[in-house]
Structure 1
Amino acid sequence: MTTLDFTVPDHWKWFTESRYGMFIHWGPYAQHARGEQILFREHLDQREYAEQAAAWNPQHFDPELWAATAVKAGFKYACFTTRHHDGYCMWDSAYTDYSSAKLAPQRDFVREYVDAFRKAGLRIGLYYSWIDWRLPAYFDGPAKDPEGWEKVRAYLHNQVKELLTNYGQIDHFFFDGVWPRNADELQSVELLEEMRRLQPGILVNNRLGYSSTHDEYRADGGVGAGDSDTLGDFGTPEHLIVADRKRLWESCQVTTWRLWSHVFGERWRPADYLLDMLCECAEKGGAHGGNLLLNCGPTADGELPPEFVERALDIGRWLEVHGEAIYGSDGGSITEFITRGRQTTRENFLYLIIRFWDGRPVMRLADLTSKVKSVTLLTTGQTLEFEQRDAELFITGLPAEAPSRLFPVIRVECEGKPEANQWGRERLWEGDPSRVAEWARSQRGTSVFADGIERG
């Protein structure tokens, strides 16, 4: 279980209590239905793309319906793409006319999103890309084009400050797309100070660029490294779940196989796979992080894909019953449990999230040293009988059929915070190998023969 050596400020505790956010990738790229990065990945004609973007005019964007769906799905916050790498702005920016407010929609989509999601009780996050594929000076950089670079840098800073000035309280800010620039060129440290002045309670992610002043030595000089070792309040592992031991973190993941925006013909991950990612984040998080930011790519016309809604609401129904194992959890994995599923904890409770229900009436949980007070099948509310023998807990009376199509959960109440012995703390490929030697020696012997007895 990952723990950090700092106390989470009160104004950030909402993040660790939430555990689950909705990522929204939506913009004119949805018209192409081949991913949000199609302009670059297929190196399309810039003018043709811009003309199509200018004409984009979604008719079925209903932010209140989006927000209501998010609430039912169990999300506690959301993060909306205000501008992706294609440069199109989803709000009424004073610094460009390449926006939803100035072009065909004549609508400030950021305003509508913020108002609807805030009204629904969700925390507000905004995504903003440093990179803009339309602007040569961004890629030439300050060395090749100092005057052009300064204009671009000022544009980026001004837009971020605009977003943090005109839309009320912003809780969460997600930068992206630093390459090939770094923090010193972007002056992201200075911008971060201004962001905190405008929004004192804001959480800002770590994609601020490598800084020669603030980060440790890196062999590549930081070129192409968008994630800072030290800058930013939370880490953002993408397409993977890895605990950041230095700060809060959230894993950003797609609901499809790969792409973030709406794609024709994309394959969808099943609900249990998505739920398992949420459980893994909560399990690995420790007391200070471990969130899942799960993506949705709305259609070009502004509707949430039915495949996403089906899966999200499935997870939402699971959370209605089992949410106490996720929201505000203190991390988990007290004992080795990978052969059955995952664990989380909350105060004196240990939650056993069963991915693999074997249908047997008795479950043995090894290596838990805390005295157990009660055991409940949280999925049904049924009280379960148990017996504790030293560091072994035997839970009895389990039904043959899994009580939930998704993961059933067993809640174990202990007399104190759940704790484990050495075997629970040190897992496969970890810890002192002498414990493995003693285990084998004491229980079977030392030889290669079946009975463990040495032959002369």
Structure 2
Amino acid sequence: MKKSFERTTRRGFALSIRYILFLLVLASTIEGNANGQWAPLVADSSAASRIQWWRDAKFGLFIHWGLYAIPGRGEWIQWDEQIPNGEYAKLADEFHPEKFDPDAWAATAKNAGMKYVVLTSRHHDGFALFDDPKSNFTSVKSAAHKDIVVDYVTAVRKAGLRVGLYYSPLDWRYPGFFFPDIYQANALEMRDQYHRQLNELASHYGKLDIVWFDGGGANWLGFGGVQFKGGWHARPKDENYTGTFSWKDEEALSSLRSLQPSVIVNDRTDAPADFRSREGDGAMGAFENHYPWELCSTITEGAWGYQPDAKVKSFDSIIRLLVGAVGRDGNFLLNVGARPDGQIDPLQVQRLKEVGSWLHNYGDSIYGTRGGPYLPGDYGVSTYHDKTIYLHILNRPEKRLRLPPLQAKLISCSSPTGEHAQCTQTVAGVDIVLAENPTGNAPVDTIVALSIASPASDIAQISTKADTPATAPVAADIKK
């Protein structure tokens, strides 16, 4: 990085008193909003069939990439360090991704056993990785002179993976986002950009399978907002913005769905969504099979955007997150932050390859399954497909695992992970005795497959008396 930029990054804006007050209350509101879910769910007749492929896919790759990769301090660097818009925009002149290889990205996802990919087409800083004829802040008009999205979608489709794009209506360059009533004309310009760019993406890049929204809706509008009722204070976390400005999300998504009839979207606008989002390791939560949902998290212990010294999470912790989400009847979207030159860090690629090897061996217990019928507990989680129940034993007992009664006849049991499993069914429950793994190494997930005489989908959920997360140590949630 240029020294002049380094000097300016921490200098900040000449803030008004009211804006300083706003910054003081922001910290107390943004964490609650970041994990918030506010959109209603779709109720049309084709909703279930539209999302079925996604529910079967289970595992996807999230890629955060933009100008923020250049300084390498996370995707929120402009906001966190209060970098003036003009200074931040100069990064576009340094955007030279000489090693950008979308085919390599797609191969990384495929080798990891992932079935879909989601790329940040535009983050909160407003820099678009696609062409927008009405904006100068795009990759096409940067030093790269390249439409990143068109190359990305071509490579992902060619690899046989599903195509997803992240898009944020929020744009830090617009004061109308922070104070939409005072700066309403500016807020309307921001809304016009949102609708226009969404139509650009839906019209010029072929079939899109997922649009992953962030930063939109009345929940985030104004970053929690500042109100004056007997003194300045933050808008309460459980209250949405109620001023005169509207994103007109339903209008935007109606246009999106007319152009992309099979697209699925998440719940971070105010328009009806196909699935809900849980963000960060700590948001794993409880079992939920009444609607589709997805846990998103990072492969590193740090921000979502590239950080050169970020520690890569262990193989065991990633498997626990994947299995924990699927066993709770959700999906798992695992993020990498690409380097400024366009490459994914080799250590992250290696970790993803290790996960892919595990899925190559044990993917039958993940892909095309549903969570249950045994609910999550101290032992771990369960999944099922047809007449097979897979017990994912994440916290292995010394010798025997005893589970509550199973309302189906148990025919046989086996262990895909190589242990000798002996199962006994009585009216009191199911007892599983596990011999030591012949390799001498206890796997992170001991899998026991129970073959039953009738479809597992006919069995009601079975409480294990400890419906608590059985995941890896929780890292602090990171803003996306």
Provide TM-score, normalisation by structure 1: 0.81
What displacement does 1:371 show? 1.3
Moved more, 67-76 or 304-313: 304-313
The answer to whether residue 153 in structure 2 is matched with residue 114 in structure 1 is yes
CA distance in 2: counterparts of 1:171 and 1:388, whole angstroms? 44
The answer to whether residue 416 in structure 2 is matched with residue 416 in structure 1 is no
Among 429, 448, 458, the alignment partner of 1:392 is 429
What displacement does 1:145 show? 3.1
Partner of 2:126: 87
Partner of 1:433: none
The AA in structure 2 aligned to 1:249 is: W
Moved more, 403-412 or 91-100: 403-412
Answer whether contact 1:373 1:415 (CA < 8 A) is retained: yes
The answer to whether residue 315 in structure 2 is matched with residue 247 in structure 1 is no
CA distance in 2: counterparts of 1:27 and 1:413, whole angstroms? 48
Partner of 1:124: 163
Partner of 2:379: 340
What displacement does 1:263 show? 0.8
Partner of 2:140: 101
CA distance in 1: counterparts of 2:386 and 2:63, whole angstroms? 33
What displacement does 1:136 show? 2.3
Structure 1 residues 311, 370: CA separation in 2 closer, same or farther (over 3 Å shift)? same
Answer whether contact 2:420 2:434 (CA < 8 A) is retained: no
Structure 1 residues 8, 200: CA separation in 2 closer, same or farther (over 3 Å shift)? closer
SS of the residue 1:387 aligns to:
strand
CA distance in 1: counterparts of 2:202 and 2:195, whole angstroms? 11
Provide TM-score, normalisation by structure 2: 0.77
SS of the residue 2:246 aligns to:
helix
The AA in structure 2 aligned to 1:261 is: G
Partner of 1:30: 69
Structure 1 residues 235, 49: CA separation in 2 closer, same or farther (over 3 Å shift)? same
Partner of 1:279: 323
Answer whether contact 1:375 1:383 (CA < 8 A) is retained: no
Structure 1 residues 295, 9: CA separation in 2 closer, same or farther (over 3 Å shift)? same
Q: Which digits, 9 at most, give the CA deviation of each residue in 1:259-282, with x for residues without a partner?
A: 101113222221111111111111
The answer to whether residue 200 in structure 2 is matched with residue 162 in structure 1 is yes
Partner of 2:112: 73
User: 5+ residue gaps in structure 1?
Assistant: 210-229, 431-456
Answer whether contact 1:27 1:88 (CA < 8 A) is retained: yes
What displacement does 1:357 show? 3.9
SS of the residue 2:120 aligns to:
strand
What displacement does 1:23 show? 0.6
The AA in structure 2 aligned to 1:155 is: Q
The answer to whether residue 248 in structure 2 is matched with residue 187 in structure 1 is yes
Q: Which has the higher contact order (CA 8 A, sep 6+)?
A: 2
Matches within 5 A, 1:303-318: 303-318=343-358
Partner of 1:259: 303
CA distance in 2: counterparts of 1:428 and 1:77, whole angstroms? 33
What displacement does 1:235 show? 0.8
CA distance in 2: counterparts of 1:265 and 1:313, whole angstroms? 20
CA distance in 1: counterparts of 2:461 and 2:304, whole angstroms? 40
Partner of 1:321: 361
Structure 1 residues 375, 265: CA separation in 2 closer, same or farther (over 3 Å shift)? same
CA distance in 2: counterparts of 1:103 and 1:295, whole angstroms? 25
Answer whether contact 1:351 1:411 (CA < 8 A) is retained: yes
User: 5+ residue gaps in structure 2?
Assistant: 1-41, 223-240, 469-480
SS of the residue 2:279 aligns to:
coil
The AA in structure 2 aligned to 1:346 is: H
Moved more, 418-427 or 232-241: 418-427
Moved more, 55-64 or 349-358: 349-358
The AA in structure 2 aligned to 1:233 is: D
CA distance in 1: counterparts of 2:369 and 2:417, whole angstroms? 17
Structure 1 residues 244, 90: CA separation in 2 closer, same or farther (over 3 Å shift)? farther
What displacement does 1:367 show? 2.5
CA distance in 1: counterparts of 2:182 and 2:109, whole angstroms? 46
Among 10, 17, 21, the alignment partner of 2:49 is 10
Partner of 1:236: 277
Structure 1 residues 107, 388: CA separation in 2 closer, same or farther (over 3 Å shift)? same
Among 207, 214, 228, the alignment partner of 2:268 is 207
What displacement does 1:412 show? 0.6
Answer whether contact 2:131 2:138 (CA < 8 A) is retained: yes
CA distance in 2: counterparts of 1:246 and 1:373, whole angstroms? 29
SS of the residue 1:352 aligns to:
strand
Among 279, 289, 292, the alignment partner of 2:332 is 292
Partner of 2:477: none
Answer whether contact 1:19 1:282 (CA < 8 A) is retained: yes
What displacement does 1:397 show? 6.1
Rg larger for = 1
CA distance in 2: counterparts of 1:263 and 1:100, whole angstroms? 21
Answer whether contact 2:374 2:381 (CA < 8 A) is retained: no
Structure 1 residues 340, 33: CA separation in 2 closer, same or farther (over 3 Å shift)? same
What displacement does 1:71 show? 0.4
Answer whether contact 1:87 1:132 (CA < 8 A) is retained: yes
The AA in structure 2 aligned to 1:241 is: M
Give the paired residue count.
Answer: 399
Partner of 1:213: none
SS of the residue 1:33 aligns to:
coil
CA distance in 1: counterparts of 2:173 and 2:250, whole angstroms? 25
What displacement does 1:241 show? 1.7
Answer whether contact 2:408 2:453 (CA < 8 A) is retained: yes
SS of the residue 2:149 aligns to:
helix
SS of the residue 2:109 aligns to:
helix
CA distance in 2: counterparts of 1:103 and 1:7, whole angstroms? 41
SS of the residue 2:424 aligns to:
strand
Q: Which digits, 9 at most, give the CA deviation of each residue in 1:144-163, with x for residues without a partner?
A: 23333322211110000100
Structure 1 residues 344, 82: CA separation in 2 closer, same or farther (over 3 Å shift)? same
